[in-house]
Amino acid sequence: MSRPFVNPLARGTPAVISHARAIKKWTREALALPDDAVVSVNELACHVPGCPPKETVVLVMQGGRTIQVSVHKALHDVTRDDIALTFGAASGEG
């Protein structure tokens, strides 16, 4: 019996979940976040003219403060360097 096709880029697949966890880890490292900080990673369709069709939005919520950044790439294309550069720029370091 053949197995059904599983799209490796579909939402909720082990590969997507694993990469989202990696992005959260890289974000925590880049910002030296404490354990109680909340990091959320989502892939959204970008509707801004000239924007790639997918963007990855990272939210960091800590102590009543929220930082939101967008990486103009699909979630599975985001790298550790993208996160370091994005949060360096968001904090005025980059």
pLDDT tens readout for residues 35-70: 999 999 999 997 878 878 899 999 999 999 999 999
- Calpha distance 86→11 (Å, rounded): 24
Q: Does residue 7 form part of some domain?
A: no
Q: Does residue 1 form part of some domain?
A: no
Helices of type H across 1-94: 14-31, 80-90
Q: Does residue 62 form part of some domain?
A: yes
Per the structure, the count of domains in the chain is 1
- Model pLDDT, residue 5: 64
Q: Does residue 67 form part of some domain?
A: yes
pLDDT tens column, 15-40: 888 999 999 999 999 999 999 999 99
End-to-end CA distance of the chain: 54
Amino acid of residue 92:
G
Among 6-15, 42-51, 68-77, top mean pLDDT goes to 68-77
Amino acid of residue 57:
V
CATH of the domain at 31: 3.30.160
Q: Which residues make beta-bridge pairs with 31?
A: none
Angle between helix axes 14-31 and 80-90 (nearest 10 degrees) is 40
- Model pLDDT, residue 94: 47
Q: Which residues make beta-bridge pairs with 58?
A: 41, 69
Q: Does residue 2 form part of some domain?
A: no
- Model pLDDT, residue 91: 58
pLDDT score of 9 more than 50: yes
